[in-house]
């Protein structure tokens, strides 16, 4: 009896395993389908798409739509392609990610290792900033950018994303550093290290996973942001997302779907790349601190 | 003025005072152990010496220099933490020299100091490893190396052996003692382990509830405990404390206790101090160490006053080197420490030899020592 039941247990487990993988494969295909169609159509001449054949592979392979989207397509009024806006987005995202991560790390360090009166309250307020919807800060932010005379510039956008990101990065680093042994900080104090020396020499070198989490999160949010980009940067300083919208909505002549698809993939590529390169740190970092050991 | 002076130091968190007027003077080269159960304030006191916690009132001075408010790195102290607190991102060598680097010592001098310490602690082959690749005992050595390399006035140890397994703990204990004898440094050492306190220290401060209960050499603490807490905290198995009555029999003071069958037993006290007379016919607590109750052959030959006690043995526990024998006295389990081959059997009557030279009396109400 015991043997028989063990037998069926093994059989049913290998059967359910096949079933699980089948279902997973189906889901993966389902999720990849839109991307596949985008990719396929970005490599077709326009006539094949307008001819009504969106799902099939191209009869004539071409990279012309990609070249066009990158350097010659009409964005608004200028035929510049997406390239300058891609550069805008990089110039905006890299400093904003770096600044918000560093300040978040500093905040987390102070909030956990240099406890002061009201630290919990300040952390609560910072945390609260994570829940404020974008729309609410639009008008006050526009006013501040005006006062600082950086409205409509990439610098202005950097400031907006930097400030908006501090809440999240502080949350990440505070929780990570809360589990970081305080005795290490005390030992460094006795060794004569100062506030910033402890931060640079002891805390940051041990923060790899959480830095990865913070960078991925911030990069994805900032790169994909449309609302702030559309509101605070105009014309030549617009980020990639806004430019993509302009590309698709430019109403001169025929709609070049293949170029639109190519542009959309370009806009999504950096975040995809970041996830592929650093994704495993993301999962590991998110789990860090939640489970002991 | 000592080398390290703790003058009427108190510590409060808000309205709660956790350390009450601690007053200890440590001489140069002394090994002071702060011992007590958790929550007694010993670690707080150590952190105050280190400068990691503020001093509410009173003064701490190192080498006649008051260090209240002086930053930890400027006190010329070094500390070994319970968790070792090695910097995980640095190699052993970098860990050891980090303090020197922060104090602006040139690289050549740092390397020389590191080589000396590595040789002293026999960790030369570990210098390029990361702390994560070391065993517990090796980490302990590195942590001590980091403290030693700075050549500080005072070493502070915060329960440094409590994370090691039992055998390694004993080895490292011996090693710390050797190191102290060799270098003659001044050490303040916190532990909750009374055996560590006894074996390592030149003086012990037994702490409880924020008070220093007694400060003295290991022998003073062990033989002449100031109160019931010290008596029962120090020593393993702990001191037998029996309710007793003092009786005057023929002009000599006896402690009267009851045996296993409720029979009265009298133990004569020689050279009783006059103060005992005030407790005649009153209840007192009689304290006798397990090793002061033996079989007649195993009794201390230098003892002047050995009293015989006829009572029933309840349990025997052979522990290899010794045999622990339990018997019921005054309604309490009383443990005697005997030779391994003492001829005792549970359930049988036995003539216990009690060395009354070593007996001490406590007031049952104040729990203070009488005499």
What are B352's strand-pairing partners?
B309
How high does pLDDT run on average in chain A? 83
The vertex-B284 CA angle with B283 and B288, nearest 5°, equals 140
**Nearest C-alpha of chain A: how many angstroms from B70?**
11
pLDDT of residue A4: 53
Tell me the fold of B240-370: OB fold (Dihydrolipoamide Acetyltransferase, E2P) (2.40.50)
- Tell which of B87, B146, B147, B151 to mutate to test the A interface (max A CBs under 10 Å): B87
Banded model confidence at residue B137, pLDDT cuts 50, 70, 90: confident
pTM above threshold 0.80: no
pLDDT of residue A293: 33
Q: Does A202 touch chain B (CB under 8 A)?
A: yes
For residue A206, list chain B residues with Cβ-Cβ distance below 8 A.
88-89
- The shortest CB-CB distance from B87 to any of A184, A190, A192 is to A184
Question: Which of A214, A112, A136 has its CA nearest to residue A169?
Answer: A214
**Each residue of B301-352: pLDDT tens digit?**
888 888 888 899 999 999 888 999 999 998 889 999 999 888 888 989 899 9
d(CA A259, CA A248) in angstroms, rounded, equals 9
**Nearest C-alpha of chain B: how many angstroms from A180?**
11
* Cβ distance of B79 and A192 shorter than 8 Å: no
**Each residue of A220-239: pLDDT tens digit?**
999 988 888 888 887 778 88
From residue B63, give the alpha-carbon distance in Å to each of B1, B67, B205, B206, B259. 9, 10, 20, 24, 56
Tell me the fold of B4-233: Rossmann fold (3.40.50)
Q: Is residue B275 scored above 50 in pLDDT?
A: yes
pLDDT of residue A1: 44
Residues in contact with A148: Cβ distance below 8 Å, sequence separation at least 6, in sequence order: A156, A159
**Nearest C-alpha of chain B: how many angstroms from A202?**
7
Check: CB of residue B110 under 8 Å from CB of residue B101.
yes
Which CATH class for the A83-288 domain? mainly alpha
Task: Give DSSP secondary structure letters for B39-94.
Answer: TSSHHHHHHHHHTSS--SEEEEEETTEE-TT--GGGTTEEEE-TT----TTS-HHH
What number is the average pLDDT over the span A128-137? Answer: 85
Higher pLDDT, B97 or A248: B97
**Each residue of B15-44: pLDDT tens digit?**
888 999 899 999 999 999 999 998 888 999
* Cβ distance of A202 and B87 shorter than 8 Å: yes
Q: Is B170 helix (H, G, I), strand (E, B) or coil?
A: helix
* Chain position carrying tokens 């701490």: B60
- What is the enclosing helix (H) or strand (E) of B213? strand B211-216
A182 secondary structure, DSSP code: H
Check: CB of residue B333 under 8 Å from CB of residue B198.
no
**Each residue of B198-215: pLDDT tens digit?**
999 999 999 999 899 999
**Each residue of A141-162: pLDDT tens digit?**
889 888 988 888 888 889 989 9
Q: Does A59 touch chain B (CB under 8 A)?
A: no
Question: Which of A267, A278, A184 has its CA nearest to residue A224?
Answer: A267
Domain ranges of chain B: 4-233, 240-370
Banded model confidence at residue A284, pLDDT cuts 50, 70, 90: low
Dig out the tokens for B338 from the structure: 């005997």
For residue B82, list chain A residues with Cβ-Cβ distance below 8 A.
183
Domain ranges of chain A: 14-64, 83-288
Banded model confidence at residue B160, pLDDT cuts 50, 70, 90: confident
* Cβ distance of A186 and B79 shorter than 8 Å: yes
CB pairs under 8 A between A and B: 55
Banded model confidence at residue A24, pLDDT cuts 50, 70, 90: very high
What are B267's strand-pairing partners?
B255
């Amino acid at each position: 009896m015991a043997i028989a039941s063990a037998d069926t247990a093994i059989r049913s487990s290998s059967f359910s395993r096949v079933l699980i993988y089948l279902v997973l494969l189906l889901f993966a295909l389902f999720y990849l389908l839109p991307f596949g169609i985008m990719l396929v159509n970005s490599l077709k001449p326009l006539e094949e798409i307008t001819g009504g054949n969106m799902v099939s592979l191209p009869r004539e392979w071409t990279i012309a739509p990609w070249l066009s989207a990158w350097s010659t397509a009409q964005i608004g009024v200028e035929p510049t392609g997406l390239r300058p806006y891609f550069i805008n987005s990089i110039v905006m995202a890299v400093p904003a990610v770096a600044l918000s991560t560093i300040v978040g790390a500093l905040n987390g360090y102070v909030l956990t290792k240099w406890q002061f009166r009201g630290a919990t309250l300040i952390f609560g307020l910072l945390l609260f900033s994570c829940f404020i919807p974008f729309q609410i800060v639009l008008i006050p932010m526009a006013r501040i950018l005006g006062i600082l005379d950086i409205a409509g510039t990439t610098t202005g956008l950097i400031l907006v994303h930097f400030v908006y990101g501090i809440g999240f990065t502080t949350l990440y680093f505070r929780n990570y550093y809360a589990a970081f042994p305080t005795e290490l900080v005390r030992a460094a104090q006795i060794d004569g290290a100062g506030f910033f020396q402890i931060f640079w020499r002891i805390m940051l070198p041990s923060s790899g996973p959480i830095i990865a989490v913070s960078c991925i999160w911030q990069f994805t949010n900032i790169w994909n942001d449309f609302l702030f980009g559309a509101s605070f940067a105009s014309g030549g300083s617009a980020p990639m997302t806004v430019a993509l919208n302009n590309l698709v909505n430019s109403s001169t002549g025929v709609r070049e779907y293949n170029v639109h698809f190519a542009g959309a993939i370009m806009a999504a590529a950096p975040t995809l790349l970041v996830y592929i390169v650093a994704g495993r740190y993301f999962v590991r970092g998110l789990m860090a601190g939640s489970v002991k050991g | 003025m000592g080398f390290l002076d703790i003058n009427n130091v108190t510590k409060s968190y808000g309205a709660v005072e956790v350390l009450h007027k601690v007053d200890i003077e440590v001489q140069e080269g002394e090994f002071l152990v702060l011992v007590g159960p958790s929550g007694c304030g010993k670690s707080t006191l150590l952190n105050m010496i280190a400068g990691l916690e503020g001093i509410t009132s009173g003064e701490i001075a190192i080498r006649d220099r008051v260090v209240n408010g002086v930053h930890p790195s400027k006190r010329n102290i070094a500390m070994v933490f319970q968790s070792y607190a090695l910097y995980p991102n640095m190699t052993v060598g970098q860990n050891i020299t980090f303090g020197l680097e922060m104090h602006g010592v040139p690289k050549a001098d740092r390397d020389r100091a590191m080589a000396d310490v590595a040789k002293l602690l026999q960790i030369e082959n570990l210098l390029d490893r990361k702390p994560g690749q070391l065993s517990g005992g090796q980490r302990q050595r590195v942590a001590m190396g980091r403290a030693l390399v700075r050549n500080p006035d005072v070493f502070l140890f915060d329960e440094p052996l409590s994370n090691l397994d039992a055998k390694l703990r004993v080895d490292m204990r011996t090693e710390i003692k050797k190191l102290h004898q060799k270098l003659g440094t001044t050490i303040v050492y916190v532990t909750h382990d009374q055996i560590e306190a006894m074996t390592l220290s030149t003086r012990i401060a037994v702490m409880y509830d924020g008070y220093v209960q007694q400060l003295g050499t290991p022998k003073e603490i062990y033989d002449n405990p100031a109160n019931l807490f010290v008596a029962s905290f120090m020593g393993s198995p702990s001191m037998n404390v029996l309710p007793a009555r003092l009786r005057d029999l023929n002009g000599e003071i006896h402690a009267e206790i009851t045996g296993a069958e409720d029979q009265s037993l009298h133990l004569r006290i020689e050279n009783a101090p006059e103060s005992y007379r005030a407790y005649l016919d009153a209840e007192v607590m009689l304290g006798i160490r397990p090793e002061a109750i033996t079989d007649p052959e195993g009794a201390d030959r230098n003892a002047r006053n050995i009293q015989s006690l006829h009572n029933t043995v309840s349990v025997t526990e052979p522990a290899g080197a010794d045999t622990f024998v339990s018997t019921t006295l005054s309604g309490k389990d009383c443990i005697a420490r005997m030779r391994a081959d003492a001829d005792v059997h549970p359930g049988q009557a036995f003539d216990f030899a009690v060395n009354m030279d070593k007996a001490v009396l406590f007031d049952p109400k104040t729990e203070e020592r009488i005499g």
